[in-house]
Amino acid sequence: MKQAEEFFISVDVEPSGPNPGQYSLLAIGACTLVQPQQTFYVEMQPVNTNFQPEAAAIHQLSLESLAAQGLPAQEAMQRFADWLEEVVPAGARPVFVAFNAPFDWMFVCDYFHRYLGRNPFGHTAIDIKAYFMGKKGSSWAETSMKNLGPYFPAQNPLTHNALQDALDQGAIFLALRNQA
């Protein structure tokens, strides 16, 4: 049986706290890693009022504003699934790529299953930090953005805008992957 071609999608999320069981997913940014690059971004209505001030200070998203202007979670996840269906070539499978993928993936997986009953990514995720460790033989402590700076196109810190971070971390992954 022929294995499906892998199609890498860089994904970043901005939540209201550290886990999807108690906190809300507020924004998703994603991009393809092939040219012409295609992007996806959505801001979502919070599913509850739980938030950690540290999270809000990082991403600057307002629960009140998102409650009024964000998309309901089910609609947002359907749009993300539709976008994946549109950009992933026939016969290929989407592979989730993220900087600290366990964090981002747990929110995306939870929301896909909770609101659509399925996760288009399945159980596939590549963590850029772990990938860097393997490529460079580094320790986990050496996988900070500071140490990945040479692979970061503009040498700037992450913005915590989900789409911009997805684009930037995708560029890091491609740079690492293309190294001999």
Question: Which residues are annotated as catalytic?
Answer: 160
Helix 101-116 to helix 73-87 angle (10° resolution) is 110
Q: In 11-72, which ranges are continuous DSSP H helix? A: 53-59, 63-69
d(CA 19, CA 29): 18
Cα(130)–Cα(137) distance, rounded to whole angstroms? 10
- Distance of alpha carbon 179 from alpha carbon 41, whole angstroms: 29
By DSSP bridging, strand 125-127 and strand 25-32 are: unpaired
